[in-house]
């Protein structure tokens, strides 16, 4: 008979917990080099100096599963435009700021933002699986907001002590970049707060790495008594391939309500045709359009801006071709306001 030493017994679960899930392996192998991005997509080398300059300000991050939806050799591809840094990012444009939403002022506990009634936003993971060039958090001090367990307890105490809070929103970065072990731990604690009714997650991961929707994720999602809402972030119909549709179907089976928010972006989705195709494709995947945000004036993203008048015209045009339930609400985030502001 073989007897195992206590050390052996301990090493078994440790080894298995360090094993990476397929989505984590994809995340580890993400494209982070502008030259590789240009080479893989057959882009003219003339794009490289601009890509390097933008990358120096906000690094390139593109998962393989997202890259595979981009047309090689086409610098106008609407998905490429979201991830390829351009020289324009280095321009200083009046009114475009490092922290356009002034979030630095609303963090009572580390990793917690309470600006709106009844809802509290928790920064569950400091990083993202993809770096979107227009991101309003491109200058956010993520590193300072990656909470430890002790900091989580402080955030949880804030939630426990305020019965007006009915909804916890996991945000980031991308909250689903955190491990399932961490997320299960957190959601278990949220679940135990009696006045909380809803768990909302804002994530782009199921879109950019659909394998993220695996058994481990569905396990803790299915286990909670909280009502679950997942707000995806998709800007163009081409982002929704068969793998995304399959991931959404599994989420719906687990009782998750699926919504989508987009950002209105010049050169990506600034036409009635593109926006209508997006809404139609979202519904095919079982997702309802929620918000269409105008760009937050973040430094380095001015070249994505669509003027307000044009945004309103686009939405009026969209109303001509879509049923009401496929219409997103056009909004802007105004610092200091108690809600998103409809345009
Ligand atoms: C956008 C946002 C919310 C959620 O707003 P909804 O209108 O409920 O989607 C909550 N808290 C903060 C800080 C936000 O920026
Ligand atoms: S996934 Fe969201 S938070 Fe992350 S870079 Fe893109 S827009 Fe920003």
198 forms beta bridges with 167, 227
Ligand 2 touching residue 130 (CB < 6 A): yes
Does residue 122's CB lie within 6 angstroms of at least one atom of ligand 1? Answer: no
Question: Residue 135 Cα, ligand 2 centroid: separation in angstroms?
Answer: 5
Residues 30 and 173 in one domain: no
Domain assignment present for residue 200? The answer is yes
Give pLDDT, residue 126.
84
Residues 281 and 330 in one domain: yes
Token pair 């929103």: residue: 169
Determine if ligand 1 sits within 6 Å of the CB of residue 185.
no
Domain check: are 25 and 138 in the same one?
Answer: no
Mean pLDDT (the chain) is 91
pLDDT tens digit string along 161-187?
999 999 999 998 999 999 999 999 999
CA of 70 to the centre of ligand 1 (A): 31
Beta strands in the chain (DSSP E): 112-116, 119-125, 167-172, 198-203, 227-233, 256-263, 288-293, 329-332, 341-342
- Say if 13 falls within a structural domain: no
Average pLDDT over residues 236-245: 98
Residues 178 and 273 placed together within one structural domain of the fold? yes
**Residue 150, pLDDT score:** 85
Do 74 and 131 fall within a single domain?
Answer: no
Q: Report the distance separating Cα 144 and Cα 293, nearest Å.
A: 26
Among 60, 90, 120, where does a domain finish? 90
Residue 1 lies in a domain: no
Of 42, 60, 90, the position where a domain reaches its end is 90
Contact in structure between 163 and 194 (CB atoms under 8 Å): no
Does one domain contain both 73 and 153? no
- Encode pLDDT of 190-226 as tens digits: 999 999 999 999 999 999 999 999 999 999 999 999 9
> Does some domain include residue 331?
yes
Q: How far apart are CA 32 and CA 297, in angstroms?
A: 25
The number of beta carbons lying within 10 Å of the beta carbon of residue 71 is: 14
- Give the model confidence (pLDDT) of 94-109 as tens digits: 999 988 877 666 555 6
In a domain? residue 110: yes
pLDDT of residue 287: 98
* pLDDT tens string 89-147: 999 999 999 888 776 665 556 688 999 999 999 999 988 999 999 998 888 765 555 67
Which of 43, 63, 90 is the C-terminal boundary of a domain?
90
pLDDT digits (tens, 9 = 90+) for 282-318: 999 999 999 999 999 999 999 999 999 999 999 999 9
Is the pTM above the cut of 0.85? yes
Q: Tell me, yes or no, whether 175 and 259 share the same domain.
A: yes
| Beta carbon of 131 within 6 Å of any ligand 2 atom | yes
CATH number at 171 reads: 3.20.20.70
Q: Ligand 2 centroid to 131 CA: how many Å?
A: 6
Give me the number of domains the chain comprises.
2
Separation of CA 298 and ligand 1 centre (Å): 18
Do 249 and 314 sit in the same domain of this protein? yes
The ligand that comes nearest to the alpha carbon of residue 231 is 1
With CA atoms as reference, report the closest residue to 170 among 157, 182, 162, 154: 182
Q: Same structural domain for residues 44 and 132?
A: no
Domain range for 40 is 21-90
Q: How far apart are CA 331 and CA 339, in angstroms?
A: 10
Quote the tokens at residue 213.
């929707």
If asked whether residues 81 and 119 sit together in one domain, one would say no
pLDDT at residue 99 in the model:
84
Tell whether ligand 1 has an atom less than 6 A from the beta carbon of residue 165: no
CA distances from 225 to 192, 229, 247 (A): 9, 13, 22
Question: Is residue 60 domain-shared with residue 181, that is, in the same domain?
Answer: no
Asked whether residue 118 falls in the same domain as residue 81, the answer is: no
Residue 12 confidence (pLDDT) above 60: no
User: Looking at the domain assignment, is residue 95 inside a domain?
Assistant: no
To test the pocket of ligand 1, the residue of 111, 116, 140 to mutate (highest count of ligand atoms within 8 Å of its CB) is 116
Checking if the pLDDT of 58 tops 90, the result is yes
Residue 6 has pLDDT above 60, yes or no: no
CA of 295 to the centre of ligand 2 (A): 13
CB of residue 113 inside a 6 A radius of ligand 1: yes
DSSP for 89-118, written as a single string: GG---TT-BSSTT-GGGG-SSTTEEEEETT
**Separation of 10 CA from ligand 2 center, angstroms?**
38
- Whether 281 maps to a domain, the answer reads yes
What pLDDT is stored for residue 11 in this prediction? 35
Per-residue confidence (pLDDT) for residue 104, from 0 to 100: 65
Residue carrying structure tokens 């599994």 = 250
Q: What spacing in Å lies between the alpha carbon of 208 and ligand 2's midpoint? A: 11
- 245 within domain boundaries: yes
Q: Among residues of the chain, what percentage have pLDDT more than 90?
A: 82
Q: Which ligand is nearest to the CA of 59?
A: 2
């Amino acid at each position: 008979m073989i007897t195992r030493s206590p050390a052996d017994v301990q090493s078994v679960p440790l080894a298995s917990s360090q094993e990476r899930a397929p989505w984590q392996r994809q995340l580890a192998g993400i494209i982070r080099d502008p030259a590789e991005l240009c080479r893989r997509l057959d882009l003219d080398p003339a794009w490289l100096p601009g890509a390097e300059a933008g990358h120096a300000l906000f690094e390139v991050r593109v998962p393989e599963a997202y890259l595979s939806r981009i047309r090689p050799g086409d610098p106008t591809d609407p998905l490429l435009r979201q991830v390829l840094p351009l020289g324009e990012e280095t321009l200083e444009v009046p009114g475009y700021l490092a922290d356009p939403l002034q979030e630095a002022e609303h963090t009572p506990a580390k990793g917690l933002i309470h600006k709106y009634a009844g809802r509290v936003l928790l920064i569950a993971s400091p990083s993202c699986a993809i770096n979107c060039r227009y991101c309003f958090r491109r200058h956010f001090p993520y590193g300072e907001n990656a909470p430890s367990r002790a900091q989580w307890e402080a955030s949880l105490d804030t939630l426990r002590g305020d019965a007006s809070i009915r909804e916890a929103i996991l945000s980031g970065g991308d909250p689903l970049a955190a491990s399932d072990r961490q997320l299960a731990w957190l959601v278990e604690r949220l679940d135990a707060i009696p006045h909380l009714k809803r768990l909302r997650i804002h994530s782009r991961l199921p879109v950019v790495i659909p394998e993220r929707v695996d058994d481990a994720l569905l396990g803790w999602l299915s286990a909670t008594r909280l009502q679950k809402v997942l707000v995806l972030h998709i800007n163009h119909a081409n982002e929704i391939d068969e793998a995304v549709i399959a991931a959404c179907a599994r989420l719906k089976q687990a009782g998750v309500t699926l919504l989508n928010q987009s950002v209105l972006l010049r050169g990506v989705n600034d036409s009635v045709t593109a926006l209508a195709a997006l809404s139609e494709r979202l519904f095919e995947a079982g997702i309802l359009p929620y918000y269409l945000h105008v760009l937050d004036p973040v430094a380095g993203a001015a070249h994505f801006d669509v003027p307000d008048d044009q945004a309103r015209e686009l939405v009026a045009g969209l109303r001509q071709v879509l049923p009401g339930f496929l219409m997103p609400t056009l909004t802007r985030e105004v610092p200091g306001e108690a809600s998103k502001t409809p345009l």
